Structures are given as structure tokens and as C-alpha cells.
A = this chain, B = another copy of it.
């Protein structure tokens, strides 16, 4: 047996995880109730300087703007065409601060970027991108941007009879092709935002409209819809995860809430924008904060 959580430094975060799993085992919680939910961007893999899916979409918007000059004066195609990452980063900051005006503008582009193709074609494109594209600053491919300690945590939970789910604000269908390989999470346990779909002559097609934006209070709703249970463990890193962490609260079962704090500019990134309220909640409600700098002996494989 290799040591579980080998990339976690001794300290309160590692203790909290080990203590929680011990209590679940000691209490004999039935396996079907051992449900863990993880945010993806900033929790399981890197989300800076931009979420990985944003890069995927930007490349497509850039292509579209190259083909159609009229799009170059219209957001979000303009930002994509001019590689104006500042505009795009700002959209996410505004979103976490509660202002979704530009999120809607961005979503219009997100939806248009991959509309009118089948889910199979979309999956091929996402898969090809994820296997070839490089992270802009970390000097590694995107599939090497998963946090090694989190992958260890997922394995440790799996070894202890848990079923782990991704409950992401990112696109469900973007992550499904790589979730098993990257995290050991089977594709059917990926919950995330989704595009409206249409069944046409044997094929599922992507419609040019959003279906679910799986963020904030929508996360517990989608977790419950998918699983039919309240999770024992919830792991996030931002304001969009607050309700999901709240939801993992039980009267008669062990439970744990973990919040990743990005405080390691050297090995990863240091930021709290979009996480301020969740960090306050962590303090006031005794959620366990995972400091990347202090709690992880290494960040990536």
C-alpha cells in the first residue's frame, strides 16, 4: 500500500480529510451514501490565467472572426480576435462579484461557438483540444494541469467506497471525454453546465441556447437531480461553490467541506478574486481551507 495523500503536508487540511474518512468508515455509512462532489475549475485543475474551456472557446471564436470580419467588432469575438485576455478575465471577476452583464455577452459567444454540431462532433473537438493544447504559462499540456493532491484525494475516496462527482460550472460535455483518464471519474458522474440538446434522426445535436448554468444555487439542485442524495463531502474554491458546500451538511452523518485557497504564486497562481465570500464563509462556518502553499508538497504531477 502506498501512503494515501502522499502529496499533502501534515496539517489541519490533511487531518480533516483523514478524520472524515475514518468517521465514515467507523460509522459504517452505507457505500451508496458515500457521495463526494468536486468543483472542477480551480478545484481539480488550474483555472488561471483563464479557465481551460475558455481557451477552447476563444480559439473557436478567433476562427469565426477570421472567417467573418463583422464579428471582429462584437464581443466576445473582438476579445478573442485581439487576444484581449483582460476583457475575458474581467468577465469572470464580475461574475463572481454578482454582475452577469458581460457573462451573458460571453455566453452568447460560447453558445454560438459550438452550436449546430452533434454531441459526438463536439466531443471529438474537445478531446483533441485537451490532448494537444498547452497551458499558456505553466509550460505543460492542459491534461497535466490537474492538481496531483486532488487526484490522490479522489483515489483515496474511491478506495474507501466513495463515489465522486464533478459538479462544475464548466461544460459537462467538455469534461466528459477526459474525466475518467484524468480523475478516475466516469463520464456519467460529470455534472456541469450544458447546452440545450435536440434529438434529430438518431443524433443528439447542440442547439444554440444554454440549458443549465451549473453554478451557485444551481449546483445543489443539479447534484440532487443527478444523484438523489445529499453529498457527505463537497470541495470547491470560489463563491460559486458556496451553496454546494452548504448542501453537504447532515444531522446524522459525518460530513466535510473543503475550500481551496490559491496562495501559491510560485508553483501555481495566487488569487482570491471571486472567492472572497466563500473564504468568509469558511471562517464563519468552520469549513476546512486547503492552502496550496502550505498543504500541498507538490501541485502537479
Contact = CB atoms under 8 A, between A and B. Distances in A.
Interface of A: 32, 119, 172-173, 176, 186-188, 190, 194, 197-199, 202, 204, 217-218, 220-221, 224-229, 243, 246-247, 249
Identify the 9 closest CB pairs spanning chains A and B, nearest first: A199-B217, A187-B228, A199-B220, A197-B221, A204-B224, A188-B227, A176-B228, A199-B221, A188-B228
A194 B187 CA distance: 22
Contacts of A190: 228
A188 B220 contact: no
Contacts of A217: 198-199
Copies in the complex: 2
B204 A221 contact: yes
A253 to B, nearest CB: 14
Nearest to A123: B228
Contacts of A220: 199, 204
Contacts of A221: 197-199, 204
28 contacts: A32-B186, A119-B224, A172-B225, A173-B228, A176-B228, A187-B228, A187-B229, A188-B226, A188-B228, A188-B229, A190-B228, A194-B225, A197-B221, A197-B224, A197-B225, A198-B217, A198-B221, A199-B217, A199-B218, A199-B220, A199-B221, A199-B243, A199-B247, A202-B246, A202-B247, A202-B249, A204-B224, A226-B226
